[in-house]
Structure formats: C-alpha cells, structure tokens
Amino acid sequence: MIRLTSDFECGNGKEIEQLAATRFRLQVDGDKQSGYCGYFCFDIINEGPPADVTVELWEDAKFESPTGFRTLFPTTIWFKPVDFHRFRPLPGTPPASIQGHITFTVPVEQDQRVRVAMTYVAPYSEVAALLGGLADTRADRCEPFSVGTTVQGRDIPGLRAGTPGKPKLFCVAGQHPHEHAGVWGVFGIADFVSSLLPAAQALREHLDMYIVPTVNPDGNVLGRNAFNAEGFDMYQAFGDTPDADLPEAHESKLLWNWVATERPALWMNFHCFTGWRLNSELPYDGWYEVEDRTLFSDPDQRRLYAAICDTMRLETDGPSTHERASIHGPNTLCYQFAKRLGVPHAFYEINNATAGKHQGGQRAIHVFKRVTNTLLHYV
C-alpha cells in the first residue's frame, strides 16, 4: 500500500487523491500569484514492494488565473528517503508545466518513506539545532543571540561573531519561507564567520556580525511560500502603506526594531529564485537594489551603497539571471532602512534549482566575502 502526506514540518500539498495503485494527484497550497504558488513538499509512504510512483502536481485551484507554474517549472525536483541526511535531484528530465500541472515519477523502494520537494528543504528545527551546535562547540569564537519570538512562539535564533564596538553587520534569510537555498546560504555564512579560516578570523577582528538564517520560522514550519503565520509577506513588509511607522508582520517589526536600535553598517538579505525558464546563464542567481541612491541622505552612506552595488554586479553571480538588478519597491525593508535609517543593503537571490545545502552555502559565503571586503574599505 502507498499513500502521500504533507503533514509534517515544511510540508505543502493538499487535496491528495489516489488515482491508481501507483498514481496520485495533489495541489500545491499557494500564498499569492507568480512565484509564491509553486512550493511543494510531501512524503510518499510505501508499505509494499518497490514501485515507481507517478505524481500529478496541480496549481492551487483557489486562484482563478494561472499561478506561475509556467515560469517555475521546469526546475530541479529534490528527493530523499526521510531518514537520509541529504536530498538529491530526481533522475530524468525535470517536467515543464502543461495546462496547470506537472507530472513526474518517483522511484520508491520497499517499505520506504521518501520526501519530494521543490527545494532542498531547510527545516527550521534542523537549522536551529545546527546553529546551536556551532554556538556550543565554538564558544571561543561566537555566541548565540535571538531576534525575538514569532507569533506562534518560536525563537528566531542567530549567531553573533566578532568584536563588540566594531561596525555591525546584520545578515538574514528566510523572509520568504520556502526559499531554502537562501537559508542554507546564511547558515553557511554562520559556519564561515565562526570558523578557523584566516579570512574569518580577520572579519571577527574588524566587524561585529549577527547572522540569522531563518527570520520567519512559523512560515518555514507551516510550509508557506511567502507568508508568516499572520498571512503577511515579510519582503513586501509595509504592504500598501510604505509610510507606516512599522511593517505589517510581527517578525518584520522585530527586524525593524533590531536595525533601528543596533544601527548596523550594512544588512544582507538572501532570497531565492526557482527554475530557469526566464533566466539567462548558470547558476541563475539574481540581486536587487534601490533605484534612487539619494534615498541615502548621508553622502558617505550613499557612496558605500554605490560601492556595494558595484560589488554585487562585478564580483558575484547576481547578474546571471537578468544581467541587471531587480528593483526594491518603497514597501520593502531595504527601501525604508535606506530612506529612514540610512542603512545600506546587499540583497542576493540564490536559485533553488541550482543550489541546495552546499551550493547555497558556497554562493552566500562568496557574496559575503566580497561584500565585507568592500565594506571594510568604507567603515
């Protein structure tokens, strides 16, 4: 007997139907149109002999118009036995979307439970435990800190490394909770800054670094695409009211208050793309900027921001998707931090199709090294 479930941490999949002994249909549970309606993560539980299980995965029927499957797929589909330590790409050619669904086949061994997902999943509990492990075993080089507690009562854990009194650097991921390569990326940065590498040692001497891989733990655990537990998008943080005193989501307010109080010299924010249909060159990463540099009223901060933008364009794979930067709107934290607090940003998007735990870390660490190299010339 074979069955499917999405009832676990980071799970996403609904209206599950068994069409035949080894054929199933289900829908994704989307948040909003375009890129936030494609995330899926479900388990195939096989209590019988080996089988090739065919899955029809459909767009969310609660949205009347197409929800973005055409642009998200094809992409790498990641799978693993649930007890295995790593995901790997599903064999074969990744399917394109046809009339609102994709169809693919998953090999499942006897009495095996296999997890299938759109991303190399970075569960909150796993990342928090790994972060705690770094803090425990490297107490001479780093310490735990917390941004606060989520709507549902989860801690938002971070790792601090560096020298008190030096310029602060704040680095986060997971505003959009399904963008797991970014979470793995920023966990990789936490590993890097607390490591024994000479470059990390030098950064600890010159900066005070605060690294937070999962800023939206509730959304992560609930398997959301874009939202927190309240149904707010932490990237479009101010919604329809960019001039409001505070952003909408509880966790965005925590980020706002942290930055307003601590006044970092720079903040870094990692997000993700998925798929390659609209993209140009491998590895299909991207980056964002604010268009109006005069948002920074201080000439020194404006010049630092221009140098960070040069860094992103010239020294990272950010241009591999669109060649040019995407633009932050006035309702984003990046825009309002620039305008109200003068805090510049480095905003990078890792592709979920070409990065999992290792590649996410490698690309994020590379961006981090280049950005901090520039930063240290200006602070």
Q: Round to whole Å and give the CA distance between 315 and 370.
A: 7
Q: Is residue 345 close enough to count as binding Zn ion by CB under 5 A?
A: no
Residue 176 C-beta: closest distance to Zn ion, Å: 3
Contact between 151 and 250 under an 8 Å Cβ cutoff? The reply is yes
Residue 274 C-beta: closest distance to Zn ion, Å: 10
Q: Is residue 178 close enough to count as binding Zn ion by CB under 5 A?
A: no
Strand partners, 104: 55
Q: Is residue 328 close enough to count as binding Zn ion by CB under 5 A?
A: no
Residue 328 C-beta: closest distance to Zn ion, Å: 12
Interface residue with Zn ion, options 176, 178, 204, 224 (CB under 5 A): 176
Tally Cβ neighbours within 10 Å of residue 133.
Answer: 11
Contact between 355 and 363 under an 8 Å Cβ cutoff? The reply is yes
Q: Coil, strand, or helix at residue 281? A: coil
Residue with Cβ nearer Zn ion (115 or 176): 176
Contact stretch for Zn ion (CB under 5 A) within 4-12, 170-178, 205-213, 307-315: 170-178
Contact between 318 and 83 under an 8 Å Cβ cutoff? The reply is no
The dihedral built from the CA positions of residue 34, 79, 216 and 292, taken in this order, carries a sign that is negative
Q: Round to whole Å and give the CA distance between 165 and 167.
A: 7
Site mask, Zn ion, residues 260-279, x = CB under 5 A? Answer: -----------x--------
Residue with Cβ nearer Zn ion (176 or 345): 176
Contact stretch for Zn ion (CB under 5 A) within 145-153, 172-180, 256-264, 333-341: 172-180
Q: Round to whole Å and give the CA distance between 214 and 105.
A: 31
Contact stretch for Zn ion (CB under 5 A) within 36-44, 107-115, 143-151, 174-182: 174-182
Residue 100 C-beta: closest distance to Zn ion, Å: 23
Query: What is each CA distance from 17 to 23, 43, 267, in whole angstroms?
Result: 9, 14, 45
- Count the site residues for Zn ion by CB under 5 A: 2
| Among candidate residues 207, 195, 193, 211, the one with its CA nearest the CA of residue 156 | 211
Residue 38 C-beta: closest distance to Zn ion, Å: 12
**Footprint on this chain of Zn ion (rule: CB under 5 A):** 176, 271
